[in-house]
Amino acid sequence: MSGKESGYLDMELLRFTTAGSVDDGKSTLIGRLLYDSKAIFEDQMEAIERASERSGHEDVNLALLTDGLRSEREQGITIDVAYRYFATPKRKFIIADTPGHIQYTRNMVTGASTANVALILVDARHGVLEQTLRHAFIASLLQIPHVIFCINKMDLVEYSQERYEQIKADIDAVSSKLSVKDIRFVPISALNGDNVVDRSEPMSWYDGPTLMYLLENIHISSDINHEDFRFPVQYVIRPQSAEWPDYRGYAGRVSSGDIKLGDEVTVLPSGFASKVKSIDMMNESMEVGFAPQSVSITLEDDIDISRGDMIVKTNNGRAPQNSQDIELMICWFNERALVPRGKYVIRHTSSDARCMITEVKYKMNINTLEKNEEDKSVGMNDIARVKLRSTKPLFFDSYNRNRFTGSVILVDEGTNETVAAGMII
Amino acid sequence: MDKYRINHLKELEAESIFVIREVAAQFENPVMLFSGGKDSIVMFHLARKAFWPAKVPFPLMHIDTGHNFPEAIEYRDRTMEETGTKCIVALVQDSINEGRVVEEKGVNASRNKLQTTTLLDAIESRKFDAAMGGGRRDEEKARAKERFFSHRDEFGQWDPKNQRPELWNIFNGRKNMGEHFRVFPISNWTEMDVWQYIYMEQIDLPSLYFTHKREVFNRDGVWLAKLPFMQLKDTEEVKELDVRCRTIGDVTCTGLTLSTANSLEDIIHEVASTRTTERGGRADDKRSESAMEDRKREGYF
């Protein structure tokens, strides 16, 4: 195939999250990105026009594009994470569009968990608000590698460079308290399209990249940990057929690092060692497997391995930590508050155990970034630092090093609901 | 580290295979829904990759309205035979005969909605605890809020306000007796991704997706196929035109696209330049603003 489509086959995938409230122009910005990249279709546009008329909007309300559920349209708010898709010849984008209000912190956390980039909108008229801090804190807590602050509505402050520099300085002062690796700023007007896809004429003083240029070019292949090979076994493939009588493949997704044929590996928790015999993906036999591929690995020796075990390189340098006592930051998701010394199911990679929360160290005020060591009751949308003890040892890395082997969820044993997400310190 | 980089299709593939393997590991009796449409064909292809060289460790199930394109049925039977896969066929006609549902009347009668009962009955009677479907979030706005692992209560209903948060790649498939999950392994794929992947992997498709001459008629701006069970109004005129399917579903609500695309390259060009969504041709979504949300709440795919 020639031309455009062959280029399309070579796109990179970038996931980003947006958080914001109804009036900071988030929907307008998303609408513009989708519209300018031709991801909004005519029939969707017609449906939005019909719905806008019905709900009494004079202009076409692009928020209706993302507010998919009836209750959201009725109340004019976004309740849940909505996923949106668009592509340019360089990249395919997945947007996790999350509501920005404090009562939806859990949805912001969910959207942030897989993102490469966070877009945080700041209204140029109002500057840094509580909500800006909250979004920046969540981006930092969930270790989103890149954060782009879009200083929006520049048209309403006469495209003032001074105003932009002031907001930028305010954010810089705050972000020194956070751990975000890469912070960018773009002055935009989502409504008029300034610096979104095309450069802004009224802001000729700005010589940095447009938002679209950043999204298309920001370097994301180093977002994955390429150093520590971690392979949680998800499923054991045993055909036991005439053609494949002895095939025993360990199926899973490489969480981080890479593995080559002949590499020496150790299986946790048993500690058995072996060598990699093959790395398979259907009829493709590969020399090397790396994150984030899903593969099936066979080993030279016949050892007992099952779901929940982890395969690591023997001479990797850094082995995973191994403990029953874990300290972590959690975000509580459930209406039923955390029960001190309560028992929950803990899921870490493909492994399940039971655990008890042994201590709540402090609760985070995510609007002021202050620690609260007095009130330790943890309810829905709260973020807290806790200690827990699991019934069996977990093999983990700190979340800062590895988003996949450093994360857990807690599940209520009675209702089976996911009640919390945890980032291991 | 750019040498260890994969393109967007390989990354989507890796994610979907992870989800499918997770279903096989977490559930006792899963099933994969198969319609003969391109999305379920891609999903089945991913399942074969996920468990190679073993066979896919769960059966497929086709909810058959009886109102099919013969080419889709031929494709289904041939594929199952070639891959040695078991495919359960649950007939909407049986639900009608048993009095579980009542056939819609009139020229716009469709069995699309009736499928929900047949599907829920089949899940209950065969005690499936997870049913994988080829739904994609870009198809429709209610789908945009769907999880990979979507929890259903004992009535098979979806409660969009009470969905489980889904973080990183940890999927919680724990449930109580009588409940089940719908799982959507290709949630993050767009129509374009599906076509590019079919091209990349050279996956065989039913001939319906490519241009062919067919007797069609126009109803409310949508071209429908003239097949024996279709009722025509007096004013509707049958023409023979060059058409192809953009989606394949129940004949009564599958709109055909006027097209001369006869290769995957042509189709990708066509999709890239099209200005309406594929569901724009689906009469079932035009019924109301929240038609899809309502059907999903009741237990639709």
Q: Is the pLDDT reported for residue A3 higher than 50?
A: no
For residue B78, what is the DSSP state?
H
Residue B2 within any structural domain of the chain: no
Tell me which H or E stretch contains B296.
helix B291-298
Structure tokens at B3: 């040498």
Q: How many CB atoms lie within 10 A of CB A45?
A: 16
In tens, the pLDDT along B154-211 reads 887 787 777 889 999 999 999 988 889 999 999 999 989 999 999 999 999 999 999 9
Residue B266 within any structural domain of the chain: yes
Residue A98 forms beta bridges with which residues?
Answer: A19
Q: Is the pLDDT reported for residue A5 higher than 60?
A: no
Q: Is there a single domain that holds both residue B23 and residue B61? A: yes
In tens, the pLDDT along A13-24 reads 999 999 766 667
Structure tokens at B90: 């649950």
CA distance A59 to A53: 8
Residue B61 forms beta bridges with which residues?
Answer: B33, B88
Enumerate residues 6+ apart whose C-beta is below 8 A from B162.
none
Q: Where does the pLDDT of residue B116 fall: very low under 50, low under 70, confident under 90, or very high at 90 and above? A: confident
In tens, the pLDDT along B221-236 reads 888 888 887 888 888 8
pLDDT, chain B, mean: 87
pLDDT for residue B291? 64
How many domains does the structure of chain B reveal? 2
Predicted complex ipTM: 0.92
3-state helix, strand, coil in chain A (%, to 5): 20, 35, 45
Residue A236 forms beta bridges with which residues?
Answer: A250
In tens, the pLDDT along A304-361 reads 999 999 999 998 778 999 999 999 999 999 999 999 999 999 999 999 999 999 999 9
Task: Pick A411's closest partner by Cβ from B166, B169, B174.
Answer: B174
Q: Is there a single domain that holds both residue B213 and residue B113? A: no
In degrees, rounded to 5, the angle at the alpha carbon of residue B80 between the alpha carbons of residues B134 and B45 is 40
B142 at the A interface (CB within 8 A)? yes
Q: Is there a single domain that holds both residue B260 and residue B133? A: no
pLDDT for residue A318? 87
pLDDT for residue A192? 87
pLDDT for residue A2? 41
The size of the A-B interface in CB pairs under 8 A is 206
Backbone angles phi, psi at A173, to 5 degrees: -65, -40
Q: Where does the pLDDT of residue B143 fall: very low under 50, low under 70, confident under 90, or very high at 90 and above? A: confident
Q: Is the pLDDT reported for residue A141 higher than 90?
A: yes
* CB-based contact A237 B24, cutoff 8 Å: no
Q: Is the pLDDT reported for residue B286 higher than 70?
A: no
* Region of A283 on the Ramachandran plot (φ > 0 left; ψ -120 to 50 alpha; else beta): alpha
Under 8 Å between Cβ of A265 and A276: yes
Indicate which of B169, B269, B292 best probes the interface with A, i.e. most A CBs within 10 Å of its own CB. Answer: B169
Q: Is there a single domain that holds both residue B98 and residue B231? A: no
In tens, the pLDDT along A200-219 reads 999 999 999 999 999 999 99
Residues of A in contact with B17 (CB under 8 A): 253, 294
Helix (H, G, I), strand (E, B) or coil at A205: coil
In degrees, rounded to 5, the angle at the alpha carbon of residue B140 between the alpha carbons of residues B139 and B141 is 135
Mean pLDDT, range B239-266, rounded to an integer: 87
Distances (CA, A) of A170 to A122, A226, A381: 12, 34, 26
pLDDT for residue A4? 45
Q: Is there a single domain that holds both residue B186 and residue B53? A: yes
Q: Is there a single domain that holds both residue B19 and residue B141? A: yes
pLDDT for residue A16? 96
Task: Pick A110's closest partner by Cβ from B18, B166, B172.
Answer: B166
Residue B197 within any structural domain of the chain: no
Amino acid at A326: I
Tell me which H or E stretch contains A296.
strand A294-299
Sheet holding B149-152, edge to edge: B87-91, B60-64, B30-33, B130-132, B180-183, B149-152
pLDDT for residue A42? 64
Q: Where does the pLDDT of residue B295 fall: very low under 50, low under 70, confident under 90, or very high at 90 and above? A: low
Enumerate residues 6+ apart whose C-beta is below 8 A from A414.
none
pLDDT for residue A265? 97
Residue B199 within any structural domain of the chain: no
* CB-based contact B165 A411, cutoff 8 Å: no
Q: How many CB atoms lie within 10 A of CB A295?
A: 23
Tell me which H or E stretch contains B236.
none
Q: Where does the pLDDT of residue B249 fall: very low under 50, low under 70, confident under 90, or very high at 90 and above? A: confident
Q: Is there a single domain that holds both residue B56 and residue B155? A: yes
Distance (Å) from the alpha carbon of B267 to chain A's nearest alpha carbon:
11
pLDDT for residue B19? 98
Residues of A in contact with B199 (CB under 8 A): 1, 5, 9
CA distance A113 to A111: 6
pLDDT for residue A1? 42
Q: Which of A70-84, A237-251, B32-46 has the lowest mean pLDDT?
A: A70-84
Alpha-helical (H) ranges within A158-237 are 161-175, 211-217
Task: Pick A11's closest partner by Cβ from B8, B13, B51.
Answer: B8
Distance (Å) from the alpha carbon of B98 to chain A's nearest alpha carbon:
34
Q: Which of B12-16, B73-77, B106-110, B127-131 has the lowest mean pLDDT?
A: B106-110
Enumerate residues 6+ apart whose C-beta is below 8 A from B249.
B35, B37, B112, B282
Q: Is there a single domain that holds both residue B144 and residue B36? A: yes
Nearest CA-CA partner of A189 in A226, A214, A159, A233: A159
Indicate which of B3, B12, B49, B52 best probes the interface with A, i.e. most A CBs within 10 Å of its own CB. Answer: B52
Maximum distance among all alpha carbons in chain B? 66
Q: Is there a single domain that holds both residue B94 and residue B212? A: no
What structural domains does chain A harbor?
4-217 (3.40.50.300), 230-313 (2.40.30.10), 321-424 (2.40.30.10)
Mean pLDDT, range A152-161, rounded to an integer: 96
Structure tokens at A368: 């002021």
Which residue range forms the structural domain that includes residue B15?
Answer: 8-192+290-298
Q: Is there a single domain that holds both residue B168 and residue B251? A: no
pLDDT for residue A104? 79
pLDDT for residue A43? 65
Distance (Å) from the alpha carbon of B99 to chain A's nearest alpha carbon:
32
Q: Which residue has the tokens 């989606």?
A: B247
Q: Where does the pLDDT of residue A72 fall: very low under 50, low under 70, confident under 90, or very high at 90 and above? A: low
Query: Which of B:53-112 have CB within 8 Å of A?
Result: 53-55
Q: Is there a single domain that holds both residue B12 and residue B151? A: yes
Residue B201 within any structural domain of the chain: no
Q: Is there a single domain that holds both residue B110 and residue B250? A: no
CA distance A284 to A129: 52
CA distance A31 to A56: 19
Q: Is the dihedral of CA A93, A96, A97, A100 positive or negative?
A: negative
Q: Is the pLDDT reported for residue A94 higher than 70?
A: yes
Q: Is the dihedral of CA B52, B58, B59, B60 positive or negative?
A: negative
In tens, the pLDDT along A409-420 reads 999 999 999 999
- In chain A, whose CA is at the least distance from the CA of B287? A47
Q: Where does the pLDDT of residue A6 fall: very low under 50, low under 70, confident under 90, or very high at 90 and above? A: very low
Q: Is the pLDDT reported for residue B134 higher than 70?
A: yes
Enumerate residues 6+ apart whose C-beta is below 8 A from A423.
A141, A142, A143, A328, A329, A330, A399, A406, A407
pLDDT, chain A, mean: 88
Residue B83 within any structural domain of the chain: yes
Q: Is the pLDDT reported for residue A8 higher than 70?
A: no
Q: Is the pLDDT reported for residue B89 higher than 50?
A: yes
- Asked, as a colleague might, if the bond just before A292 is cis with ω within 30 of 0, I would say yes
Query: Which of B:265-294 have CB within 8 Å of A?
Result: 265, 268-269, 272, 274-277, 279-280, 289-290, 293
Q: Is the pLDDT reported for residue B86 higher than 60?
A: yes
pLDDT for residue B156? 75
Residue B3 within any structural domain of the chain: no
Percent of chain B with pLDDT over 90: 47
Nearest CA-CA partner of A268 in A325, A345, A350: A350
Q: Where does the pLDDT of residue A55 fall: very low under 50, low under 70, confident under 90, or very high at 90 and above? A: low
Q: Is the pLDDT reported for residue B1 higher than 50?
A: no
Residue B1 within any structural domain of the chain: no
Q: Where does the pLDDT of residue B279 fall: very low under 50, low under 70, confident under 90, or very high at 90 and above? A: low
